[in-house]
């Protein structure tokens, strides 16, 4: 007997209300942080968590996600692995995709002069953010204050005028080694500025 499997198309893929957060770690942090609205949890159909089929650590994390989802009364939707592969663009998702609202970010034009209290807070300024970035951060972005700006050069110039120090990474021979940098002024560390 031959079983034909219906291919997932745009019409058969689950319709996400928000964006997909995938993987046990990022989903746990998103649920714990409470900074988003949640619309549903997509679970890989036929996923076997018994015995040696999953690492014990993965099984416990998976079960914790399911417990938290039950507590908040979130709908659980079983879908085929192929559909989850399509939603996540074949990135690792560990059998789970959480449909959630995007993280809220405050749009800023420049960093103003800061007080001592403000210097002690940590924020992340982003040109853009995607679910891939969130996955790679293993959920850390769920816990940080996020700020958004459109023009990096204008942002850095105006922030420098307001007393902020800008540091970046370079292979130039004229660099200052990081141990020699004195932690005195409020600092912006630029990573991935290409």
Say whether pTM exceeds 0.85.
no
Ramachandran angles phi, psi of 29, nearest 5°? -65, -40
Tell me: the pLDDT tens digits for 154-166? Answer: 888 888 888 888 8
Tell me: the pLDDT tens digits for 179-190? Answer: 788 877 788 878
Gap between the Cα atoms of 78 and 56, Å rounded? 22
96-100/38-44 β-pairing: antiparallel
Model pLDDT, residue 181:
82
Model pLDDT, residue 42:
93
Handedness of CA 25, 26, 29, 30 (dihedral sign): negative
Using alpha carbons, select from 71, 130, 75 the residue that is nearest to residue 103: 130
Gap between the Cα atoms of 79 and 85, Å rounded? 10
Which neighbouring-strand residues pair with 43?
Answer: 78, 96
Model pLDDT, residue 97:
93
Using alpha carbons, select from 126, 148, 123, 132 the residue that is nearest to residue 26: 132
- pLDDT average per 10 residues of sequence, the chain (194 residues): 42 78 87 90 83 62 90 92 87 89 71 47 51 60 71 84 84 79 81 61
Q: What domains does the chain contain, in order, with CATH numbers?
A: 19-100 (3.30.1330.30), 106-190 (no CATH)
Six token digits for residue 113: 């002069």
Gap between the Cα atoms of 33 and 130, Å rounded? 18
């Amino acid at each position: 007997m031959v079983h034909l499997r219906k291919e997932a198309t745009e019409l058969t893929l689950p319709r996400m209300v928000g964006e997909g957060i995938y993987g046990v770690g990022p989903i746990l942090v998103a649920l714990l942080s409470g900074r988003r609205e949640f619309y549903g949890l997509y679970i890989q159909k036929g996923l076997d968590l018994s015995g040696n089929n999953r690492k014990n650590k993965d099984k416990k994390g998976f079960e914790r996600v399911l417990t938290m989802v039950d507590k908040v009364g979130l709908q659980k939707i079983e879908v085929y692995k192929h559909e989850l592969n399509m939603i996540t663009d074949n990135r690792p998702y560990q059998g789970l995709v959480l449909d959630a609202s995007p993280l809220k970010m405050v749009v800023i034009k420049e960093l103003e002069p800061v007080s001592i209290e403000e210097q002690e807070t940590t924020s992340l300024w982003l040109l853009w953010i995607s679910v891939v970035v969130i996955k790679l951060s293993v959920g850390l972005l769920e816990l940080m204050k996020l700020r958004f700006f459109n023009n990096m050069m204008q942002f850095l110039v105006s922030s420098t005028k307001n007393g902020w120090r800008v540091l970046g990474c370079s292979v130039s021979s004229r660099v200052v080694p990081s141990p020699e940098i004195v932690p005195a002024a409020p600092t912006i560390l630029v990573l991935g500025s290409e």
